[in-house]
């Protein structure tokens, strides 16, 4: 798997060729606001390396995925989600056409805020 796909919109965001409203960035992970939010809090978390989907992860990616899921609660609270148990958030990873994946670069949606949401 290549580090970047020159045709991938998320790789272009990682490279700074397309602007985004960043929530978090480190050496492996970028989190940014969704341009069409479904909830009061809606951001995406992506690996900077191009991994097409969750179906493509390898055992060596376990640390990266663990970091993403560990970071999600911290960022959800920072972005305005109320704390557990009264508040909370939803973490979704669409995989493949039947799973509703639209951009073929692994990404995790984090949704939160007061319900009802428009979708989801």
Q: Name the residue among 111, 120, 46 with its Cα closest to residue 81.
A: 111
User: Is 50 marked active-site?
Assistant: no
Task: Write out the two tokens for 45.
Answer: 């978390």
Q: Which residue among 50, 104, 107, 109 is the active-site one?
A: 107
d(C-alpha 86, C-alpha 114), whole Å: 11
Widest CA span of the chain, in angstroms? 42
Return the H-helix or E-strand segment holding 22.
strand 22-25
Comparing CA positions, the residue from 14, 26, 22, 117 lying closest to residue 79 is 22
Side-chain-facing half-sphere of 97: CA atoms under 13 Å: 0
Catalytic residues: 107
């Amino acid at each position: 798997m290549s580090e970047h796909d020159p045709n991938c919109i998320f790789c272009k965001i990682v490279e700074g060729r397309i602007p985004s409203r960043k929530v978090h960035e480190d050496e492996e992970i970028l989190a940014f606001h969704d341009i069409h939010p479904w909830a009061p809090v809606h951001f995406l978390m992506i690996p900077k390396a191009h991994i097409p989907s969750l179906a493509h992860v390898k055992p060596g990616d376990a640390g990266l995925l663990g970091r993403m899921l560990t970071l999600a609660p911290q960022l959800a609270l920072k972005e305005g989600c109320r704390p557990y148990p009264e508040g909370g958030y939803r973490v979704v990873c669409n995989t493949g056409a039947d799973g509703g994946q639209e951009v073929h670069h692994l990404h995790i949606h984090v949704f939160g805020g007061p319900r009802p949401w428009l979708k989801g």
